[in-house]
Amino acid sequence: MNVRLLTTIFASWMVACSGGSDGGSSQPSGAGSGTTDGGTQASKRAFRTHVILGDSISDRGGAGPFYYDLLDKNDDAKWPDGAGKDLATLYGPDLAIVKASRAGARAQNLGGQVNTITGPLAGPVLVTMTIGGNDVQAALGKMLTGGDVTAERESFREFLDEAIGMLKQPDRFGPGVEVVVYVANVYDPSDGTGNFKFASGARCGGALGFYPAGQPTAPQLDPFEQIYLDVAAKYDDVHVLDLRAKFNGHGVPAADTWFVSDCLHPNAPGHDALRDLFWEAITK
């Protein structure tokens, strides 16, 4: 495959998958597999505000009901087994919700999302975040052509660290307001195999369709995964959720896949599983 052609295909795919990554100010509204690091057990706190940050997974990506909505208030008709597994039940209906996530966001956009959150927030504050998928996609062209993606990884590290540092800045959301962060790492739609093809035989679109089937993805994803852990280790009450492990076995090749047809976003069972991942970590 000609490198220039591959780059063009990849760029077009990125435009199709991305949306705006920064928005206006975010105001609180009323709410109607576990961490891979240590830290204070947040379950002993009664959170009063839930802040949602990140990319399209946290901004209507895939098929609803979306994980963050389920986490705030379960859809009992859709997921009766999830009744009561929500923050409204745990902390009460007055939990405030602040959503600043935007489709297409990369780590470099997180600081802008944090800055849209205005005014003091009722604490303690719970932050849930999905980020990194678009950063990996941005480096995929180089990965597929044997390029060095060290610069892209270090940029991801820098901006993730910057955003979490902003969130953990003392009194960021008001005097004495505690902030606890849960950030999910990047899942792998191929289940580690490099096979980006559905059980039906349909191939994933965009650059994923050109990934060599049978070439393990771990060498590409492991360094990104380590960055989450390195950054989280610098702060108290910052937890990394292993989304990659949670979704393993439910990638696009699986009969019970947790992905929609774009191979990038969760379907309804996938969002339910993602809700479970956050719920289990928050309440453990």
Span 202-251, pLDDT tens digits: 999 988 888 998 999 999 999 999 999 999 999 999 999 999 999 999 99
Whether residue 21 is contained in a domain is answered as no
pLDDT of residue 66: 99
pLDDT of residue 71: 99
Whether residue 234 is contained in a domain is answered as yes
Residue 193's pLDDT band (boundaries 50, 70, 90)?
Answer: very high
pLDDT of residue 63: 99
d(Cα 191, Cα 277) in Å, to the nearest integer? 17
pLDDT of residue 75: 99
Whether residue 138 is contained in a domain is answered as yes
What residues have CB less than 8 Å from 226, skipping those under 6 apart? none
pLDDT of residue 26: 65
Q: Which of 22-26, 28-32, 231-235 has the lowest mean pLDDT?
A: 28-32
Count of domains in the chain? 1
Whether residue 22 is contained in a domain is answered as no
Which is nearest to 212 in space by CA: 221, 203, 202? Answer: 203
Whether residue 19 is contained in a domain is answered as no
pLDDT of residue 17: 45
Average pLDDT over residues 181-192: 98
- Please give the residue that has the higher pLDDT: either 46 or 206: 46
The number of CA neighbours under 13 Å toward the Cβ of 207 is: 27
Residues pairing with 130 in the sheet: 54, 184
Does residue 99 surpass a pLDDT of 80? yes
Does residue 54 surpass a pLDDT of 90? yes
Average pLDDT, the chain: 89
CATH at residue 274: 3.40.50.1110
Does residue 269 surpass a pLDDT of 50? yes
Average pLDDT over residues 154-158: 99
pLDDT of residue 45: 87
Average pLDDT over residues 170-189: 98
pLDDT of residue 27: 57
Does residue 30 surpass a pLDDT of 60? no
Average pLDDT over residues 17-38: 47
Q: What range defines the domain where residue 177 resides? A: 3-11+28-283
d(Cα 262, Cα 277) in Å, to the nearest integer? 22
Whether residue 23 is contained in a domain is answered as no
Whether residue 20 is contained in a domain is answered as no
pLDDT of residue 11: 38
Whether residue 73 is contained in a domain is answered as yes
Does residue 41 surpass a pLDDT of 50? no
SS3 226: helix
CB 121 within 8 A of CB 174: yes
Alpha helix (H) residue ranges in the chain: 3-17, 67-72, 87-91, 110-115, 133-144, 150-167, 218-232, 243-247, 268-283
Torsion of CA 78, 31, 56, 63, to 10 degrees: 10
